[in-house]
């Protein structure tokens, strides 16, 4: 028979509980504002694949070895094939699709386009041969154009 008085509060002892946690073993310096100081505030974005981290700041992209943090490749997007001829690029984003095992890199360009590329594999150093460009202007009437509205959601 339980002799506790349930009209008064009491402390009930529960089983031991633990939470899952992540331990960060390494950290390293990524791109900074000084790597591409042309735009304020800097547009920073990054994605992690199985062995590589891809980071963008403004119009610069850099690939890092995930295990060492060493930069493997750094490039300005204006000189890559991911852009309209002669147009500057801005607001880049990158994401990793773990189901497809590929990186997706996109940026707006000054020519009114959304330029994007999909990596050939989970290693972005294998290349981005699939590249596309979406014209963000549509013709309303002869000689007039309207910028189409884009969703602000992340890729």
> Does 62 have pLDDT greater than 90?
yes
Pick from 92, 88, 87, 89: nearest CA to 104:
92
Position 143 scores a pLDDT of: 54
Position 8 scores a pLDDT of: 76
> Does 93 have pLDDT greater than 80?
yes
Position 54 scores a pLDDT of: 95
The C-alpha atoms of residue 143 and residue 139 are separated, in whole angstroms, by: 8
Q: Map out the domains of the chain as residue ranges.
A: 43-147
Provide DSSP, 76-120: EGGGSSSS-TT--EEEEEEEEETTTTEEEEEEEETTTEEEEEE-S
């Amino acid at each position: 028979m339980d002799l506790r008085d349930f009209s008064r509060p009491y402390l009930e002892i529960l089983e031991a509980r633990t939470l899952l946690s992540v331990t960060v073993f390494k950290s390293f310096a990524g791109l900074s504002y000084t790597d591409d100081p042309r735009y304020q505030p800097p547009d920073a974005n990054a994605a992690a694949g199985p062995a590589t981290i891809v980071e963008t700041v403004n119009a610069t992209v850099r690939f890092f070895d995930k295990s060492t943090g060493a930069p493997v490749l750094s490039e300005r997007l204006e000189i890559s094939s991911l852009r309209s001829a002669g147009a500057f690029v801005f607001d880049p984003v990158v994401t990793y699709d773990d189901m497809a095992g590929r990186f997706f890199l996109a940026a707006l360009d000054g020519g009114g386009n959304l330029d994007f590329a999909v990596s050939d594999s989970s290693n972005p150093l294998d290349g981005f041969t699939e590249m596309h460009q979406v014209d963000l202007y549509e013709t309303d009437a002869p000689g007039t154009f309207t910028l189409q509205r884009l969703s602000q959601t992340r890729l």
